[in-house]
Amino acid sequence: MLYQIKDGTVSAGGTLILSHVDFEIRGNEKIAVVGSNGAGKTTLLRLIAGEIDLDRDDKRSGQGIASARKLTVGYLKQQAFTEKERTVEEELLKSCSWAEDDSLERFVYEREYEILFTRFGFSKGDKKRKLSEFSGGEQTKIALIELLLQKPDILLLDEPTNHLDVHTTEWLEQYLQQYENPVVMVSHDRFFLDQTVSVVYELSGKKLTRYPGNYTHYREEKKKAIRLQTKAYERQQQEINRLNDLVERFKHKPNKAAFARAKKKAAERIQPVEKPQQDEAHIFTGSMEPAILGSKWVFEAEHLKIGYDRPITELSLRIKRGQKIGILGANGAGKSTFLKTVAGLIPKISGDYSLGNQITIGYFDQHSSELSSAKTVAEHFHDLFPSLTEKEVRSILGSYLFGGKEAGKRVDVLSGGEKARLVLMELLQSKPNFLILDEPTNHMDIRAKETLESAFTAYTGTILFVSHDRYFLNRVAESILLFEGTSVFYYPFGYEHYLERSRKAENGEGIAARIRAEEQALIAGMRAVPKAERHRLKEISTEEAYLDWKLGLVLEKLLPAKNRVEQLTGFMEELEREWLESEDFWQNRPWTEADRYEQLQKERDKAWEEWNQRCMEWYEAAYGEEMNEKSVE
């Protein structure tokens, strides 16, 4: 245990902020603190930094805060510097104890300083500029560089990815993964948290709850805990009501008075299960079906050139029913232009494209949410869908976080994010089979994003979308379309898989699965030809037989690996379910099977890596030759 807060309470101005919280830093853990705005996350960081103290509390046993030794703490704040007339170099070298000599230590320090400075997007010439000449965001980046160079015993980061572009954020993720000391951070970038942290503390109701794992694991565990606690609460309420009913029925009968008293005491002895707070986000279960299924091929393009006055890029592509494709690329690469072209809002420059039969489009961009109406949200929505009953309207609005008073707000007074959520709700309620979305979650808070993520995941139609929210992209997209220069590439797996392979590519390993969009269209077309017709072509029949043989060899290893992952996951879920439903869990006693669960988790992670490798082998066996032939041409 490096650092510990035990039974700590913090107040400010007579307002209680943290109430009897427990917090620990073990080893070099990377810890996220999450919670709603105003919950006290920054207060906790200030407490660890030593800027504020715990309340004096006679009820607290022990000193409240303890550490293994005297610790140095570095704290990244949004207001970075007070003395801004120094140059960047003067600021960064002031914390170097070897600044005046030619030692090896100074050389190592300055080399890392150079690497960090350029990685954060600065040029070498910027070192001579004064801090006052940089924007607030640039000053925050310089302050982060200074902290990383100092390597304090505990590093505290408050929104470290603000003002960083995607590439710098990805680099910082990798840096923090290898960082030798513990880090405690507050961030709204959920993908960043997923990539960097191993522990999440949730701050809610002035209390802290510790969850092992990254952000996604925390969300899954919280939802599971709410579900189990709800069941336990409902069972207990049923039992209490049953006992009270018996008491009421027999308390006035002389020959049953003792029985009634016994049941009353039994009801009083029950240790109450706290009623669980419902999750802030709404999670859709089941599936959301389009009104019309539509044809198998939703969109087809052949040498399609897109742009306005001149072509931005050219691509050939086929999109199949049910695909959920996220689009990546630099600003100006043609992402939004492509969406507008597919939706029919702007004309093509040249080439051919077509929509499938009975394809109905739902289109969203930032202008879609520019609503102006004096009606309430409920009135506005009901006017669009008059066949719905009032009860149905309220139920649907509640599912998209417009329940209660929110439904009575005028549309005019909604924030940009709330208006966007209202429009997306209308799109999903109209049940098109092809959603085209340009930055659908901009300006939304986390609970709104997670609500829409679950809705788009439950939706069974086709989605083509652009988003800079990497967590949203990772949760919704099943494949990636990458706009890179004047080329477009198709990647058949999700964002996190793409990111992992991209990192390997930077190390010279290549991205075997990434293929040009036109090659994906060619392959999809070949797969769409009926087998009876393919067998008429001898050379294709032979190739197909050879391909089947190659795939069969890989499948012999792939399927057992997949089954092993599913088996181990099942063991873990069963072990955890038994624990969460046990008396030990509700009495807050240690979990006797914790070591067994951790061992299963390690085995599952190893099995997943093998399965992942087998999947890539299958893909390379299936498409490798076609890719090689194209590259030769």
Give residue 524's pLDDT.
63
Q: How many Cβ atoms sit within 10 Å of the Cβ of residue 573?
A: 12
Range name among 74-83, 224-233, 319-328, 414-423 with the lowest pLDDT average: 74-83
Q: Where residue 421 falls among pLDDT bands split at 50, 70, 90?
A: very high
Element (H, E) at 191: helix 190-196
Q: Where residue 586 falls among pLDDT bands split at 50, 70, 90?
A: low
Give residue 301's pLDDT.
92
Q: Where residue 101 falls among pLDDT bands split at 50, 70, 90?
A: low
Give residue 478's pLDDT.
92
Q: Mean pLDDT over all residues of the chain?
A: 84
Give residue 587's pLDDT.
65
Residues 593-605 have a mean pLDDT of: 84
- 462/227: higher pLDDT: 462
Kindly tell me if the per-residue pLDDT of 623 is higher than 90: no
Instruction: Decide if 471 contacts 194 (C-beta within 8 A).
Output: yes
Instruction: Decide if 144 contacts 116 (C-beta within 8 A).
Output: no
Specify the length of the chain in residues.
Answer: 633
The DSSP bridge partners found for residue 31 are 184, 199
Residues 386-413 have a mean pLDDT of: 94
Chain segment 494-542, per-residue pLDDT in tens: 898 888 877 776 665 555 555 667 666 655 655 554 444 333 333 333 4
Kindly tell me if the per-residue pLDDT of 266 is higher than 80: yes
> How far apart are alpha carbons 201 and 40 in whole angstroms?
12
> How far apart are alpha carbons 200 and 218 in whole angstroms?
7
Entry pTM? 0.74
Q: How many Cβ atoms sit within 10 Å of the Cβ of residue 72?
A: 11
**What tokens appear for 485 in the block?**
């220069």
Give residue 358's pLDDT.
95
Instruction: Decide if 440 contacts 364 (C-beta within 8 A).
Output: yes
Range name among 71-75, 204-208, 610-614 with the lowest pLDDT average: 610-614
Chain segment 22-54, per-residue pLDDT in tens: 999 999 999 999 988 788 899 999 999 999 999
Own/partner pairs, 55-64, CB within 8 angstroms, 24+ separation: 55/9, 55/10, 55/11, 57/7, 57/9, 60/6, 60/7, 60/8, 60/9, 60/20, 61/7, 62/6, 62/7, 64/5, 64/6, 64/7, 64/8
Angstrom CA distances, 286 to 34, 217, 289, 456, 458, stand at 28, 21, 10, 12, 6
Q: How many Cβ atoms sit within 10 Å of the Cβ of residue 236?
A: 15
- 171/624: higher pLDDT: 171
- 524/145: higher pLDDT: 145
Residues 578-592 have a mean pLDDT of: 71
**What tokens appear for 305 in the block?**
């050139």
3-class state of residue 342 by DSSP: helix
Q: Where residue 261 falls among pLDDT bands split at 50, 70, 90?
A: confident
Range name among 87-101, 279-293, 507-521, 566-580 with the lowest pLDDT average: 507-521
> How far apart are alpha carbons 419 and 401 in whole angstroms?
12
Kindly tell me if the per-residue pLDDT of 437 is higher than 90: yes
Instruction: Decide if 290 contacts 431 (C-beta within 8 A).
Output: yes
What's the Rg (C-alpha) of the chain? 29
3-class state of residue 519 by DSSP: helix
**What tokens appear for 343 in the block?**
């939706």
Chain segment 296-325, per-residue pLDDT in tens: 999 999 999 999 989 999 988 899 999 999
Give residue 536's pLDDT.
35
Q: Which residues of 8-30 are buried (b: 16+ CB within 10 A; e: fewer)?
A: bbbeeeeeebbbebebbbeeebb
Instruction: Decide if 575 contacts 596 (C-beta within 8 A).
Output: yes
